[in-house]
Amino acid sequence: MSCLKDRINLVSYWHKVESFTPHEIDKDSTGKPVTSEETLPWVSGGLKLALDEEVNFHKLCIGVFYVSEANRAIDEYLGPGKEESPNLSAVLSCFAECIFTPSGLYKPGSFKLSTMPWAMGKLMTGEVFSTE
C-alpha cells in the first residue's frame, strides 16, 4: 500500500510542478504579437504595419505578464527558495493566446491556455497543497 501512495504523491508533485511552468510567449519573426491593450490589426484604425513588413499571422496574447512578477508573488507567499532563480525579468507569459490570419480569421487549433495563473490562484487560496 505504501508503494502506491508513494507513486500517487510523486504524480501529484509533478502535476503541481507542471502547473507552475509558465507559458513563454514565442517571438516568431513571421508573426506579429498583439496584446490585449492594443487594437486588433484587422479592425479599422488598428495596428499599422510598415510597407516592407510581411506578416503571416497575428498572435493575440491575453493577460500578458512578466514571469519575474509571478515568481516574486510566489516568493512572497511561500518565502524565497533556497536556490537562485534564473533571471526571468524579460520573459513574458500570458493567460492565453491564439493565432489569427492577417485578415483576422482564427487559426483552428492555435488556442493555448496557461496553467500558471490557475495554479497561482490555487496557491493563494491554499488549495494547491491539499491532499484531496
Q: Classify 20 in phi/psi space as left (phi over 0), alpha (psi -120 to 50) or beta.
A: alpha
The parent domain of residue 97 ranges over: 23-66+89-114
Q: Which set of grid coordinates corresponds to residue 29?
A: 519573426
Q: In whole angstroms, what is the distance from residue 24 CA to residue 22 CA?
A: 6
Residue 132 placed within a domain: no
Does some domain include residue 50?
yes
Residues 19-43, mean pLDDT to the nearest whole number: 66
In a domain, 6, yes or no: no
The verdict on residue 27 lying in a domain is yes
Distance CA 111, CA 105 (A): 13
The contacts found for 49-53 with CB under 8 angstroms, 24 or more apart, are none
Asked whether residue 125 is assigned to any structural domain, the reply reads no
Total number of domains constituting the chain: 1
Report how far residue 71's alpha carbon sits from residue 85's, in angstroms, rounded to the nearest whole number: 9
| Confidence (pTM) | 0.66
Whether pLDDT at 109 is above 90: yes
User: Is 84 inside any structural domain?
Assistant: no
Nearest residue to 99 (alpha-carbon basis) of 89, 109, 90: 109
Residue 130 belongs to some domain of the structure? no
pLDDT in tens, 51-78: 555 667 788 888 888 888 888 887 887 7
Residue 126 lies in a domain: no
